[in-house]
Amino acid sequence: MAFSIRTRLTFWYTTLLFVSLLAFGAIFSYSLLKIFIYRMDNQIISIADMMVHTVINPSGKLFIPRDFDIMLERFFGVRTAGSYIQVLDPHGGILAKSSNMEGITITVPAPTYRAAIGGATTYEVVRKVGKYPMRVVTKPIEHGGRLVAIVQVGTSLEGMDEIFNSLLYILIPGIIASVVVAGAVGWFLARKALKPVIEMTATARKITAENLDERIRADVPQDELGRLAETMNEMIERLEHSFKQIRQFTGDASHELKTPLTILKGEIEMALRSKDDVKYMKEVLASSIEEIDRMNYIVKSLLDLARMDVEKGTLAKHPVRLDKVVSERFEHLKKLAFDNGVRLDILERSPVTVLGDEVRLSQLVYNLIDNAIKYTPEGGRVEVSLQEKAPNAVFRVKDTGVGISADDLPFIFDRFYRVDKARTREVGGAGLGLSICMEIAEAHGGSIEAQSAPGAGSTFTATLPLAPSGAA
């Protein structure tokens, strides 16, 4: 059976309080007991010391007057009321008792007797004396190194027992009442403290994919619950952004695929109507192949993006000579640049090694150079450079194309985004190349940024962490 947090908090709070009060009661009672015993011991040892000087004369002989306890109180000012005095001979026989010990005898345990013979004073609690136990001091009387007698002084623990019984009757009900009251107060406070959690839970349950614009009430104090509300709102905001991206991506993908399919359908229908015109049929087929290639490019790009989404955090990373990858891609794209009338140059190519997937890194380099060639007019120039700027490798592609406006620049890495005036469908782009480049760079722990202005060309810079020294 699962208990609520409120119940568990109240239980642990009351349990801790109960144990703390019990510990306090035990420590208080023990301390009070020690104080009582200390005061009793001081009282009875003072009487015992006075008895040593009273019952023995200077010659070492015993002299025990009748009613010696009354004499001690009257002539020496020693308060003997409530004390029981007993004098024993060296063999343990009783020589004299105080006047209040009629019918009472203080027993002498064997260890106590042996300690007295050895000259030691012993304090103990004797229980078999009357109705209540008695605190007794046993002190040897010696003269000239010889045991002359043994004096015992005891006092009843009746008063102390009554005090501790009364204390027990006060402490136990008090502890129980305190725990009950504290439990009720704790339950109320826990309920009040967790009320925002209940409200947050109710709000969170109402939020679905259709109303991700709602937020959890965050006007709670800036404590753990306040930070929890803020964190949940940030998470919902990220989910909302992701859902919007998914919807936009789905719509854009549908649109990009629908356009070539519509063109294909229209051209095929026109071809069917003019089946005798062979030349027109060939033109339709050539156009259809172009649209199929376009769809194939879009599908391939979508698959690449889907794979990279799955590979996030699990991308295998091996040492890759990035300068060799740049050289290979440069050689592959030289013909494309020549055909487009664009000059392609490598300004700098430093030998650098990064950790990553060689296929993905090759795709990154290819896409950036290919993109620059496609959107640079005839007679323009594309410059490629690779530099080592510890702790990163910096790959840069600069073109002399038409450039990108400041309004479009923040969105060029979004999927299916195209700059209408400079990035047209005529070059075969689908608005996915730069998105793929961004995904590859981030998957390798790097970044990519663009600088551009209309009429001034564009510069794309990819920054990737260098491989640790010693990586082969």
Per residue, what are the HEC states of the chain?
CCCCHHHHHHHHHHHHHHHHHHHHHHHHHHHHHHHHHHHHHHHHHHHHHHHHHHCECCCCCECCCCCHHHHHHHHCCCCCCCEEEEEECCCCCEEEECCCCCCCCCCCCHHHHHHHHCCCCEEEEECCCCCCCEEEEEEEEEECCEEEEEEEEEEECHHHHHHHHHHHHHHHHHHHHHHHHHHHHHHHHHHHHCHHHHHHHHHHHHCCCCCCCCCCCCCCCCCHHHHHHHHHHHHHHHHHHHHHHHHHHHHHHHHHHHHHHHHHHHHHHHHHHCCCCHHHHHHHHHHHHHHHHHHHHHHHHHHHHHHHHHHCCCCCCEEEEHHHHHHHHHHHHHHHHHHCCCEEEEEEECCCEEEECHHHHHHHHHHHHHHHHHCCCCCCEEEEEEEEECCEEEEEEEECCCCCCCCCHHHCCCCCCCCCCCCCHHHCCCCCHHHHHHHHHHHCCCEEEEEECCCCCEEEEEEEEECCCCCC
Q: What is the pLDDT of residue 421?
A: 42
Q: What is the pLDDT of residue 424?
A: 47
Identify the residue with better confidence: 227 or 186: 186
The single residue listed with the structure tokens 């990586």 is 471
456 closest CA partner among 411, 419, 401, 407: 401
Q: Residue 382 pLDDT > 50, yes or no?
A: yes
Range(s) of the chain covered by CATH 3.30.450.20:
5-162
Range(s) of the chain covered by CATH 1.10.287.130:
224-307
Q: Are strands 134-143 and 381-389 parallel, antiparallel or unpaired?
A: unpaired
Q: Residue 334 pLDDT > 70, yes or no?
A: yes
Q: What is the pLDDT of residue 27?
A: 92
Overall fold of domain 224-307: Helix Hairpins (1.10.287)
Mean pLDDT over 356-374 rounds to: 86
How do residues 413-454 score in pLDDT, each as one tens digit? 776 666 654 444 455 555 677 877 888 888 888 888 888 888
Measured distance CA(462)–CA(448) in Å, rounded: 4
Confidence of residue 170 (pLDDT cuts 50, 70, 90): confident
How do residues 294-308 score in pLDDT, each as one tens digit? 667 667 666 666 666
Question: pTM (2 decimals)?
Answer: 0.49
The single residue listed with the structure tokens 């990064």 is 354
Confidence of residue 395 (pLDDT cuts 50, 70, 90): very high
Q: Residue 111 pLDDT > 70, yes or no?
A: yes
Identify the residue with better confidence: 220 or 106: 106
C-beta neighbour count of 307 within 10 angstroms:
11
Mean pLDDT over 332-339 rounds to: 87
Q: Residue 472 pLDDT > 60, yes or no?
A: no
Q: What is the pLDDT of residue 422?
A: 42
CATH superfamily of 5-162: PAS domain (3.30.450.20)
The single residue listed with the structure tokens 């339950």 is 187
Confidence of residue 31 (pLDDT cuts 50, 70, 90): very high
Q: Which percentage of the chain shows pLDDT scores above 90?
A: 6
Q: Compute the chain's Rg from CA coordinates.
A: 50
Range(s) of the chain covered by CATH 3.30.565.10:
315-465
How do residues 249-262 score in pLDDT, each as one tens digit? 666 566 566 666 77
Which residues make beta-bridge pairs with 465?
392
Quote the mean pLDDT of the chain.
79
Backbone angles phi, psi at 149, to 5 degrees: -160, 175
What is the end-to-end Cα distance of the chain in Å, rounded? Answer: 57
How do residues 48-96 score in pLDDT, each as one tens digit? 887 777 777 766 677 676 666 666 665 555 565 667 888 888 888 888 8
Contact of 374 with 333, CB cutoff 8 Å:
no
CATH of the domain spanning 315-465:
3.30.565.10
